[in-house]
Structures are given as structure tokens and as C-alpha cells.
Structure 1
Amino acid sequence: MTGHLFNIQRFSLDDGPGIRTVVFLKGCNQVCLWCHNPESLLPAPQVLRKDSLCTRCGRCEEVCPHGAVFHNDAGFLTDHTKCVRCGHCIDLCPSDALMLVGYDKTVEEVVKLVCKDRDFYQRTGGGVTFSGGEPAVQSEFLLQCLEACREQGIQTAIETNGNYPLELTARLSPLLDYVMVDVKHTDDEKHRRFTGVSNRQSLASAQYYLAHNATDLRVPVIPAFNDTADELQDILRFARESGAKKVTLLPYHTFGISKYTNLSMPYTLGSEPLSVAAVQAMVDTLDTGGLAVEVNER
């Protein structure tokens, strides 16, 4: 079986216990306004323009056989509804400013690469983490990868939004040693406005994982979305009542904005970043109810 990836990162220290290899799968079932990996949203490969290398020569627009490249005051952009990823613009770009984000790998190829760092996993308690996008969008590929990694004695983890039926959650759970699941908001209507989908499946999956797996609940703290004391208190209450022992708060940052420009995608949130100190100050006013609450820069 073949899956669609956009990156494999080795020697990660931020995606679960120990040293890990992170496999980033393409495609997502939410469109969060603050997403810092916009290249992960679509399942298909995309042409990315490195704006710092682009000389504005116009060669890409000239050679595109489908009229997918055009220019305006912002520079040369790609209409992804017309782009068929033929590669003409990439091959003929004189400054190497264009690249294709996304590629296919088989289960066997992924597992072979993951196993290269087996010694580091054993020494540090690490393993492989599947992330995205939302890795469960490619559910059968993910399940086969997890099974194959477990057969090789590799510890497995997932970074997930939990937005899928409990039937799939129940299939994934026995194959996972560690789960990092997002809880973005307890209010369904507000969750829909900022992510495009209901929070019901996400909250149900979070509760299931908490009951069956070593699970870290993660909360991206986003201005105008969930950055008030009352909203964070409601999330901590949900976490505590669901059996969580730890919650990680991730303050909003703008590191990914340049990717939107490079991918010819709009970025609409337009908020100032939140500092760790500001979020920690708010946490200090909350009733954590015995939860371990960590504020992480990532």
C-alpha cells in the first residue's frame, strides 16, 4: 500500500518520548485558521514557491501548459485548481525557486527508514510518531504502518485531532503506545467557525484514548478562539473529567505564515503571537484540579 507524505523528520525530540522519527502524512479533515503546516491540508502534491529565491523572471508562467501560473503585485502565484503537477515550471525554473511538496511511499519504505534509528529509540525510549495534517485521513495506510512498526519492536505514537468515528479510534488504539490528541474547544459552534467541523468526534476520541492509552491532551491557545480564562478553564474541566493527567498548552505563533505565501494560499487569522509567559500567567489564575499543565513553545 502507498501513502501520501510531505516530510519524514528524524531525530525529533518534540513529538513524544525520547528520540523519534516523525512521519508527516498529507491531507487533513479540518481547516484550522491558524494551521502552521498548510502544505499538509490537501492530499495531493502542491507546487511551492520559495519566494526568497524567485527572481520574477516569469518563466514559470510562460511554460505552464494549463495556465495555472499567473502574476499580480504579490508576485507569481499558482492556481491549484488548474495545476496538474506536470513539473514543467519546476524543471525550467532558473533559480530553483519551485519544488513539489508531497510524494508517495509504500508501507515497506516507511518502515525501513524508521528502523534505521532503532538503536536511538532503544536507548531513549523513543520510536516513530505519525503526524500530519491528520494521519488518520489515510487510515488504512496508517494502520498498516503501525502494525508493521510494532512487528519490528518500534514504539508507536500519533499526533491527531481525533476527528473520526470511534470505530477507527478503536482500531488505532491497540497499535499505539502513546497518543497526543488535540482538544481545541468545548463549544461546538465556535469549533465549527474556526476549524470547519464539529468537535464531537474529536472530544469522543480524546476520551477513548485517555481510557485506553498513555495520552497527552494538547491545546493550541489561539487569540479570539480559546484564549480566555473561562474557555481554558472549561477545557481543563473536560480534561479532568475525562481522566487526563496532563494537558499541554501550545501558544499561538506565526512561524508558518510564509508557507501560505509560498503555496499561493490565503492566511486569514491575522493575530499577534502569544508568549509562553502570557499563557502561563493565565494558567496561574486557573483551577487545574490536580492536572499537570505545561505551556510549551512548540
Structure 2
Amino acid sequence: MTLFRSLDDRHPLTGRLAMGVEYDGSAYCGWQRLKHAPSVQGALEGALAKVANQFITVHASGRTDSGVHATRQIIHFDAPVPRSQKAWVFGVNANLPRDVAVRWVASVPEGFHSRFKALARRYRYVILNQPSRPVLERANATWCRDPLDVEAMHRAAQALVGEHDFSSFRAAGCQSKTPWRHLHFIEVHRHGPLVVIDVQGNAFLHHMIRNIVGALVTVGRGERGDDYLATLMALKDRRQADVTAPACGLHFVDSLYDAAWGLPREPLGPNLLAFLGEWTGERPLPDCPMVAFRRGRPLAEGVSGEE
């Protein structure tokens, strides 16, 4: 599959548009627009306003925390003026800071919603596991100088797969109405000095992945056994759980949608892991209520498909 797509500069796009956005979250308070601090949403809406000559509100597939990166954040907006595909992409990028970029734009039906039509979200947490501190990777990987037992980390993580109460991995300030989430898979692999924690679920609680990673590193150091994550989850108490891993190692790499929406497929990021060769949407999704609901299939009586 090619990485290079020609951008049309003849046919104006109007109506509802989706965009793929990549950003280095180091300098931002997170995705969501705030009055008192720089945000990725604020930077993107400012750039769109210059192309459209009026303010545009964008909606994202998921909010990322302060310092967290993204390689496939999906957003949508209703275009108030016609602009070509090339004008939307090049024009917005020309007005964005260097740490945010639009990768593509596509017309979508009016019923598309980047958040409420998402079937799953996927993150990768990258740890540079070596004795010396990182230099080139310092902004997009977390450094761990102690040798990690990746096999033990992977075994411990499997207790989290499925639908569970993740209260022990939920930040104190989390605003979600429920601590229940469905984890589709979580895998821990080593690639030379890189340890990658790859996790996908229907949605995630505030700091949930970073709290899971903090506990997995404790297992990897040999300080706790394979049952540590299961024990923490059973406690349902964040105060008795482990540390929160740094934000710099976390990357939002995919938001999955039904193929009928026709969104572009891309290699999963970050580019530091391009050698893995996996593209978005390759893995089958579980046949769970939320996926069925958002694909428009009927549910069993009494079953809810909302997050």
C-alpha cells in the first residue's frame, strides 16, 4: 500500500470532512481546548480559521492528556466554505506549528462522527530499555535503565483483557461516569532496546494506560509477580495501585471505524516502530455490544452499546 497520495486541487470539498492529524504533544496541555494553556485542538482550529476565513469547531475521536503524542487522531468538522483537498491540507499545515500536522482530508457522510462512530482506540507505549539515557528518542519514549522481563509483563497484562472495572487504573480526577471498559488486547514485545506495550479497547479512562504501564514496569523489574495486575484490578482502588508512567512514551496510534466510512488506511505509528509493518484496521474487532451498536446491528434486549 502506498504512502503517497496525490491531493486534488480542482474539486472543492464541502459538507462534513474528516481529517487525520499527527502531533507531538510535548508542548501542549493535551488535545482539548483550554483558555489558560496551549492545546492541540486550539492550534488546529486556529489554522482552519485562517483557511476558511471564519472559526471552525472540530470534534476528535478521543482526548489525549498533556504530553501525549498522536499519529492518527481522527477529527471531523462541517466545512463552512468550499476548499479543495489540497487547499485544506496544505493551507492548514502552513498555519500550524511544526509539532502538529494534517496527514489527509476526506469527505464523509453527514452521519459520521469522529467520536461516537469510533469502534475502538489503540495506543502504543514505547520504553527505551537501556543503561544510558536516550538522546534522539528522549521526547517520544520513556527511559528505563533496569532490565525488563518482557515475557513476565505480557503474562501479567493478559488479566486485563475483556470487560472489567478499571477503578485501580483510573486517575482521581477522571470524569467518566463509569470505570468499566472493554480491553480488546494488550501485548508487550521487545524489539532490541525498545519495549512496546500495544493496547486497544473501546475507550480508556483518564491516565488508564499510563497507570497500567507503571504497574507492568514493576512486574518487568521483578518486584512483583505475574498476578500483580489481576490483584490491583480486584482492589478497585487507585490509592493502592502503582505509579503513573510518564506521558512522553504514550502514542495514540489508531481510531478504528467501520470500513463503510471509507477513511484512508495508514501504517501505525510512531515512525520509530515503522519496521513492524502493521496498518490500521488489520486486526479483527471483538463481537461486543458497543461494536455491534455502532455498526448499526440490533442488540440483545437489555444490552447497551454506549461507552
- Give TM-score, length-normalised by structure 1: 0.24
- Give TM-score, length-normalised by structure 2: 0.23
Q: Please state which structure has a larger fraction of its residues in helix.
A: 1
